[in-house]
Chains A and B, each alone.
Chain A
Amino acid sequence: MRNKPDIDPEQAKQTILDYCRRKGALAAGVADLDALERIAPAGHRPSDIMPRVKSVIALGVGGQTQGAWTVPAKALGYFGSTETRAYTISYGLAFFIESKFGVRSIYCPPDMDNEAGPRVPLQSLKLHAELAGIGARSLAGDILLHPEFGYMYFASVFTELELPPDEPMADNPCPAPSCVDMYRKVGQTPCMKFCPVQCLSGTIDADGKQAEMNYDMAACAEMTQQYETVPAAIANALNADTPEAREDALFDPDNKMLWYKMSVGSGGLLAQCFECMRVCPIATKAPLADPILRHRAAQAEEA
């Protein structure tokens, strides 16, 4: 199905990107659908859930104050409504496209693949964003970074509206120059050194570019995906030798925190760590990484 003749793809794209920024997205772009279809594994391609998809729009939100990166990680860990905000914008964008341009659109579900388990996404929002040019893979387990906005949460919209795709970033901001210096001295970048479970390793080439990134997601998940420990806690209780040990296994203060998080239904709150991002100079000190810096930049632009 082609676009309606009165829709100019470039103009439509601009309208959509304006909408995204107006609603709070820091960055937005359109991924090359052909590339997506080639790279994503079978079952996880955009066409697998929307056969007539023509474009994939990726957007990123983010931003914490500088202070947020220094408060206890337990409190900082999850950015509260940030991730939700990304989904909200993309959800609204899907309606916006349908009402504005009269073509079918969907808000890309961020959820896991119900059949493959909680650590397998139905769609890779990271892949969408990377190909849309709003993030590049870092040495920190392929977390996407942006040279201006640092670390963002991403969301996507699939639409039957044909839009001209963006290019991926020309350069990867990771590793930052200071990280290269550190790597030259100690053989590790900050994210590698300070990972609590040492799930990151890699090499940087002579030009200061990423040569190899190694990520032990199993170790990372054990540290960060607390929902993984819920059945473990229950198994411990079942296997306890005494009633006291059984009670401890269930009502240990840390476990009680898990039950609390589950009871309030805050799935995202069950994933925490962020040490690699706390020590990342791009995530924390990119020129527009936090709201204050962005506000100042906007003021300067207006002036």
Chain B
Amino acid sequence: MARGLSRDQIGVTDSMVETFGEIIFHLSHNIQKRRGDPIRERDFEAVEAQRAELGLTDAEIAARIGLTETQVLYIRNREERRRFRTGHYHRLNELGGGRRFRADRFTPHMDHFKFSDDALELRAAMTFEPERVRHYVEAGFWRDDTLSGWLDRHADAAPDSPAIRTADTTIAFGALAEQVARLAGGLSRAGVRRGDVVGVQLPNIPEYLIAYLAIVRLGGVMTTVYMPYRAAEMETLLGHSRARAFICMTDAGGFAAAEAALSLKSALPALEAVIALGQPVPGAQSLADLMASEPAQPADMPVASDPFLLLYTSGTTDRPKAVPLSYHNMLGNARFGLAEHRIGADDLLLSAAPFGHLFGLYSVHLALAAGACSLLLPMFSPPALAGLIETARPTVLFTAPAHIAACLAGGLFDAHDIASLRLTIMSGSAVPADLARAFAARLGDGRVSQLWGMTETQAGLYTRPDDPIEIAAASAGRPSPGTEVRIAEEDELQVRGPLLFPGYFKNPEANRSAFSEDGWFRTGDTASIDEQGNVTITGRLKDIINRGGVKYNPRDIEELLDRHPKILQSAIVPVPDPVLGEKACCFAVATEGATPTLEELCAYLAEHDIAKHKLPERLELVADMPMTATRKIIKARLKPAGP
């Protein structure tokens, strides 16, 4: 329309717009050129000579090129609109604060960073119940904590304080921040952008933590791959997470991890970069090279609501359960954990658990919350753990019961000085009471704490350092600050709170059964709560055996069997029975040279007042138990050999 008239009425066609748009635009006031200062000087000849360059009116243009004035008006207007870049005025917002506009400081909106579809899908998964979020924020559980923020704070306030120690090296916070910034620059060069997932499969070495902090500094998301995992698990995890990059060893104890990852690239279209630590691998980038990059200065630092971890509860199924976690979930839990565990900046924290497991990362989160130093044990072995405790003298130990059991069995805590341990936090699997007591007895003044957590929650329950050993040995303690627990049907422990993950990523089926109707997370653990609020984990719901309608949890029987002189380790699982529905089958690893029989084990259990219907009805002796990377028995893999 021009002057209220339609194109048909003014006789303009697309071809006219196309034909005359350019000349009309340039003759109009849109492009102005003035030579000299003719108007001020009243040089009328010069004014006339320049009139077209100074800009003609529509009427003048019309007269000059032979269109009607209305046609010129219409075409000029169209041309002005066509030449505008929509949203250009956003640049105005870049002017301010006394700053002068600089082109190099400004990124046009259309050129601005855009999250990838994969990243947006993950971010969309970070959905929480609004009323709960309001409570978490108002109560201070959710704040602006980020790992980058914590690291920068310590690097500024205490640049020379130790942040990472190994048996033979120390990295201070200032140097750590520098190395993290450099690797962030390298990862950026390798194509990692905000919101991208980066897989990490490394032992507990400084490069692990540097990689972790560099990934999250870029706003990336780390997914951990356990060291024992091989190509099949890699493909599942990196494929499901749509990882953009994968950081691993060239040689992981005889396994060519980088080569294996490279061989998967055709099956993993999102995987752009394999980054290897160790000898160069053709096709892979060198982690050492990337760590020598120019430091990254991300335009947008991560914020607390960003997802930064994507952890898998299982790497072997075709429907992996991926747990996305935000800083809100994890870091408030760690920040409040400091006071509860009585951990401060002077502590030296050692994790026997791998960083591939959230329990290991919890120790890192606590250390960064406090500004404390993390002592690294690259790979667990009983002598390595006991030796490092003696030489490096950590004050806080994070360990699985299996680690302690192995050291105790080898007499290593008698042979090594472990008196530096002020607090030992055990988690990862059920803590046998006898084991806790036996270890506490060797600690002297040190305290034992039991912690219950899941990948979905980090630290949900724990005993406090002042709790007597009777409580720490028998229970997982009380909820962490902000965490709420309840015992639901079938004694199932259910949890909610600021630490709770939002739901499994890309697994609606798992989510349907993971939460109660009123939003509590169904842990699958069975538990009881005593009068003081201490929670004792009694087993797993799926471990319950339903023998002809009588349900029982075999955990107490397994604990008894583990103390039998002919048994090293036991696990009782249900097997189908045509009459009863299910009956109990005991899988056992015998002590060296021993051959226990079902009859003698049942007699032993009966002597310990185990009811007859709970006695195992079948015995399978195995050489080894299938174990998770965190030393839990994988009962699902225990299948009887025959009918």
- Identify the A interface with B (CB < 8 A): 32, 35, 38-39, 41-44, 70-75, 77, 115-117, 119-120, 127, 130-131, 136-137, 141-142, 168-169, 172, 194-198, 209-218, 221-224, 226, 228-229, 231-232, 236, 254, 272-273, 275, 278-279
Min CB distance, B104 to chain A, in Å? Answer: 12
Q: Name 18 interchain pairs, CB-CB below 8 A, sorted by A.
A: A38-B44, A41-B59, A43-B59, A44-B57, A74-B92, A117-B73, A120-B29, A142-B34, A168-B42, A195-B101, A196-B103, A216-B32, A218-B84, A221-B30, A232-B81, A236-B86, A275-B95, A279-B100
Q: Which residues of B contact A218 (CB under 8 A)?
A: 25, 30-31, 80, 83-84
Q: Which residues of A contact B35 (CB under 8 A)?
A: 211-213
Q: How far is the CA of A44 from the CA of B106 in the complex (A)?
A: 39
Q: How far is the CA of A210 from the CA of B35 in the complex (A)?
A: 8
**Cβ contact within 8 Å between A39 and B47:** yes
Q: Which residues of A contact B34 (CB under 8 A)?
A: 137, 142, 210, 212-213, 215
Min CB distance, B124 to chain A, in Å? Answer: 12
- Identify the B interface with A (CB < 8 A): 3, 25, 29-37, 39-42, 44, 47, 51, 55-60, 73, 77, 80-81, 83-98, 100-101, 103, 106
Known contacts A38-B44, A168-B41; decide if A215 and B57 are in contact (CB<8 Å).
Answer: no
**Cβ contact within 8 Å between A196 and B84:** no
Query: Pick the contact of A273 from B58, B84, B90, B92 — CB < 8 Å?
Result: B92
**Cβ contact within 8 Å between A71 and B98:** yes
Q: How far is the CA of A73 from the CA of B58 in the complex (A)?
A: 33
Q: Which residues of A contact B30 (CB under 8 A)?
A: 216-218, 221
Q: Which residues of B contact A216 (CB under 8 A)?
A: 30-32
Query: Pick the contact of B91 from A210, A212, A223 — CB < 8 Å?
Result: A223
Q: How far is the CA of A279 from the CA of B98 in the complex (A)?
A: 11
**Cβ contact within 8 Å between A217 and B89:** no
Q: How many A-B contacts are there with CB distance less than 8 Å? A: 152
**Cβ contact within 8 Å between A224 and B29:** no
Q: Which residues of A contact B73 (CB under 8 A)?
A: 115-117
Min CB distance, B458 to chain A, in Å? Answer: 33
Known contacts A218-B30, A222-B84; decide if A196 and B96 are in contact (CB<8 Å).
Answer: no
**Cβ contact within 8 Å between B95 and A168:** no
For residue B88, which residue of chain A has the nearest CB?
Answer: A222
Q: How far is the CA of A132 from the CA of B73 in the complex (A)?
A: 31
Query: Pick the contact of A197 from B77, B91, B98 — CB < 8 Å?
Result: B91
Q: A137-B40, A218-B83, A278-B100 are in contact. List 18 more A-B contacts (CB 8 A).
A: A39-B47, A43-B59, A72-B96, A73-B96, A74-B92, A77-B92, A131-B42, A142-B32, A168-B39, A196-B91, A196-B95, A196-B101, A213-B35, A214-B33, A229-B86, A229-B87, A232-B87, A275-B100
**Cβ contact within 8 Å between B90 and A136:** no
**Cβ contact within 8 Å between B93 and A116:** no
Query: Pick the contact of A119 from B29, B37, B47, B103 — CB < 8 Å?
Result: B29
Query: Pick the contact of A74 from B33, B41, B96, B100 — CB < 8 Å?
Result: B96
Q: Which residues of A contact B91 (CB under 8 A)?
A: 196-197, 223
Min CB distance, A66 to chain B, in Å? Answer: 12
**Cβ contact within 8 Å between B89 and A229:** yes
**Cβ contact within 8 Å between A74 and B95:** yes
Known contacts A137-B37, A222-B89; decide if A72 and B57 are in contact (CB<8 Å).
Answer: no
Q: Which residues of A contact B87 (CB under 8 A)?
A: 229, 232, 254
**Cβ contact within 8 Å between A223 and B88:** yes
Q: Which residues of A contact B97 (CB under 8 A)?
A: 72
Q: Which residues of B contact A141 (CB under 8 A)?
A: 32
For residue B100, which residue of chain A has the nearest CB?
Answer: A194
For residue B109, which residue of chain A has the nearest CB?
Answer: A254
For residue B32, which residue of chain A has the nearest CB?
Answer: A215
**Cβ contact within 8 Å between A131 and B95:** no
**Cβ contact within 8 Å between A196 and B106:** yes
Min CB distance, B271 to chain A, in Å? Answer: 29
For residue B102, which residue of chain A has the nearest CB?
Answer: A194
**Cβ contact within 8 Å between A127 and B39:** yes
Most buried by B among A209, A214, A236, A279: A214
Most buried by A among B56, B73, B92, B98: B92
For residue B85, which residue of chain A has the nearest CB?
Answer: A222
Query: Pick the contact of A72 from B3, B29, B85, B95 — CB < 8 Å?
Result: B95
For residue A168, which residue of chain B has the nearest CB?
Answer: B40
Q: Which residues of A contact B96 (CB under 8 A)?
A: 72-75
**Cβ contact within 8 Å between B31 and A42:** no
**Cβ contact within 8 Å between A41 and B56:** yes
**Cβ contact within 8 Å between B95 and A73:** yes
Query: Pick the contact of A130 from B39, B44, B90 — CB < 8 Å?
Result: B39
For residue A71, which residue of chain B has the nearest CB?
Answer: B98
**Cβ contact within 8 Å between B88 and A70:** no
Known contacts A142-B32, A196-B106, A218-B80; decide if A210 and B37 are in contact (CB<8 Å).
Answer: yes
**Cβ contact within 8 Å between A212 and B25:** no
Min CB distance, A104 to chain B, in Å? Answer: 27
Query: Pick the contact of B101 from A119, A194, A212 — CB < 8 Å?
Result: A194
Most buried by A among B56, B81, B91: B91
Known contacts A211-B35, A213-B34, A275-B100; decide if A223 and B89 are in contact (CB<8 Å).
Answer: yes
Q: How far is the CA of A136 from the CA of B32 in the complex (A)?
A: 16
Most buried by A among B47, B96, B101: B101
Q: Which residues of B contact A213 (CB under 8 A)?
A: 32-35
Known contacts A44-B57, A116-B57, A212-B33; decide if A196 and B39 are in contact (CB<8 Å).
Answer: no
**Cβ contact within 8 Å between B86 and A232:** yes
Query: Pick the contact of A43 from B29, B32, B57 — CB < 8 Å?
Result: B57
Q: How far is the CA of A30 from the CA of B422 in the complex (A)?
A: 91
For residue B91, which residue of chain A has the nearest CB?
Answer: A196
For residue A126, which residue of chain B has the nearest CB?
Answer: B39
Q: Which residues of B contact A224 (CB under 8 A)?
A: 89, 92
Q: How far is the CA of A127 from the CA of B39 in the complex (A)?
A: 8
